[in-house]
């Protein structure tokens, strides 16, 4: 019997892993084929905290899909440069996502569910209801964790009333105080002092073609911006090395203070003036403070895409 792999994007965050686990469980209940959640990277400390809290095992990490299967399902992404290395060699059966649709095509028809909500797991909850499949406590917990993560406990501008309602519903199923648990989970992901510069840059980074440029945008959450920017020279050197090695024209690191809901950018590469245009700011020492900016998806990528158009 054939196997279907379900996975989120490279450098997976809590939603990429949580949505994969939840959607794979649902599909396994609905299909004759074996469905397995896998990951395109190891879980972050935040994600591992959530997995441990709800007694779930981290999905195994794969480097390519073709060795395991011909059929895959994508969650929390669709752009091929963010997916598994051999995505063009496998058959995509389904996509469940909440991002823009770009750099994506298939040879065969597929199931595609995309909604403008704050988290993929909010959509997955709807799919469980539509299929009338009961959500186990642990699965509800990791979906709750994903919503908390993606919406920064409902503070992100990407958060919708649907996300809030979904989180509250899942919290009941998971028997969890979402506010107390959510704050502890988010804090678990801000322990950065012992992490290398390369680890921080790759922790939650995605590549975006914009105009004729290849832009790398990473994001780290913290409760202390100075803890990160005290290492600015080290980070800039690592960003420059990444640009040279992987052909990025511009590397943008978003450092987000989850307590104040502000971010500061660190920028290395060409076309820095596009950053100033996109955010109506001036870079000083390669940095710019963006008040009220916490979402890469809604407050950074669209603005840069327009600036590079």
Q: How far apart, in whole angstroms, are the C-alpha atoms of residue 181 and residue 46?
A: 12
pLDDT band for 193, please (50, 70, 90 cuts): confident
| 68/206 same-domain check | no
| 119/228 same-domain check | no
Q: How far apart, in whole angstroms, are the C-alpha atoms of residue 284 and residue 105?
A: 40
According to DSSP, the β-strands at 250-257 and 213-222 are parallel
Q: Over range 240-250, report the average pLDDT.
A: 96
Do 178 and 167 contact (CB within 8 A), yes or no?
A: yes
| 70/169 same-domain check | yes
Is 28 among the annotated ligand-binding positions? no
Q: What is the pLDDT of residue 85?
A: 96
Tell me the pLDDT tens digit for each residue of 78-126.
999 999 999 999 999 999 999 999 999 999 999 999 999 999 999 999 9
pLDDT band for 308, please (50, 70, 90 cuts): very high
pLDDT band for 280, please (50, 70, 90 cuts): very high
Q: Which residues contact 175 (CB under 8 A, 6 or more apart)?
A: 137
**Share of residues in the chain with pLDDT > 70 (%):** 100
- Could you give phi then psi for residue 216, rounded to 5 degrees? -105, 125
Q: What is the pLDDT of residue 66?
A: 95
Q: Is the pLDDT of residue 216 over 70?
A: yes
Do 299 and 159 contact (CB within 8 A), yes or no?
A: no
Is 15 among the annotated ligand-binding positions? yes
The model's pTM: 0.87
- The CATH number of whichever domain residue 269 belongs to comes to 3.10.310.20
Q: How far apart, in whole angstroms, are the C-alpha atoms of residue 39 and residue 7?
A: 5
| 171/290 same-domain check | no
Count of beta carbons in the 10 Å neighbourhood of residue 198 = 14
| 177/154 same-domain check | yes
153, 169, 190 — which closes off a domain? 190
| 151/242 same-domain check | no
- The CATH number of whichever domain residue 172 belongs to comes to 3.90.1640.10
133, 168, 190 — which closes off a domain? 190
Q: How far apart, in whole angstroms, are the C-alpha atoms of residue 305 and residue 294?
A: 17
pLDDT band for 194, please (50, 70, 90 cuts): confident
| 85/183 same-domain check | yes
pLDDT band for 157, please (50, 70, 90 cuts): very high
Is 9 among the annotated ligand-binding positions? yes
Burial (Cβ within 10 Å: 0-12, 13-18, ≥19) of residue 224: middle
The residue among 89 and 271 whose pLDDT is bigger is: 89
Q: Give the domain range for residue 285.
A: 197-308
| 165/250 same-domain check | no
139, 163, 190 — which closes off a domain? 190
pLDDT band for 226, please (50, 70, 90 cuts): very high
| 15/140 same-domain check | yes
Total domains, the chain: 2
| 205/262 same-domain check | yes
Q: Is the pLDDT of residue 8 over 70?
A: yes
Is 150 among the annotated ligand-binding positions? yes
Q: Is the pLDDT of residue 191 over 90?
A: no
142: closest CA among 36, 53, 75, 37? Answer: 53
Q: How far apart, in whole angstroms, are the C-alpha atoms of residue 218 and residue 205?
A: 4
| 169/294 same-domain check | no
Is 67 among the annotated ligand-binding positions? no
| 11/136 same-domain check | yes
Q: Is the pLDDT of residue 275 over 90?
A: yes
């Amino acid at each position: 019997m054939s196997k279907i792999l379900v996975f989120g994007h490279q450098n997976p965050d809590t939603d990429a892993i949580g949505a994969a686990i939840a959607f794979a469980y649902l599909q396994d209940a609905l299909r004759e084929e074996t469905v397995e959640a896998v990951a395109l990277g190891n879980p972050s400390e935040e994600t591992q905290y959530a997995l441990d809290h709800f007694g779930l095992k981290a999905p195994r990490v794969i480097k390519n899909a073709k060795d395991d299967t011909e059929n895959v399902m994508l969650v929390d992404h669709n752009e091929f440069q963010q997916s598994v290395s051999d995505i063009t060699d496998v058959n995509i059966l389904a996509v469940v996502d909440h991002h823009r649709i770009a750099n994506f095509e298939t040879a065969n028809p597929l199931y595609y569910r995309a909604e403008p909500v704050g988290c993929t797991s909010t959509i997955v909850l709807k799919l469980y209801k539509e299929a009338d499949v009961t959500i186990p406590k642990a699965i509800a917990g990791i979906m709750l964790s994903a919503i908390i993560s993606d919406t920064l406990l409902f503070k992100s501008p990407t958060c919708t009333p649907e996300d809030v309602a979904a989180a509250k519903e899942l919290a009941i199923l998971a028997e969890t105080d979402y506010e107390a648990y959510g704050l502890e989970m988010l804090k678990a992901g801000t322990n950065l002092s012992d992490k290398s510069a390369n680890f921080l840059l790759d922790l939650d980074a995605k590549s975006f073609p914009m105009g004729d440029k290849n832009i790398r945008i990473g994001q780290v959450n913290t409760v202390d911006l100075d803890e990160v920017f005290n290492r600015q020279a080290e980070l800039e050197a690592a960003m420059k090395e990444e640009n040279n090695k992987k052909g990025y024209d511009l590397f943008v690191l978003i450092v987000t203070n989850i307590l104040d809901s502000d971010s500061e950018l660190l920028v290395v590469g060409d076309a820095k003036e596009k950053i100033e245009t996109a955010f109506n700011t001036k870079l000083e020492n390669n940095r710019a403070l963006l008040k009220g900016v916490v979402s890469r998806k809604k407050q950074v990528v669209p603005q840069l895409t327009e600036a590079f158009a």
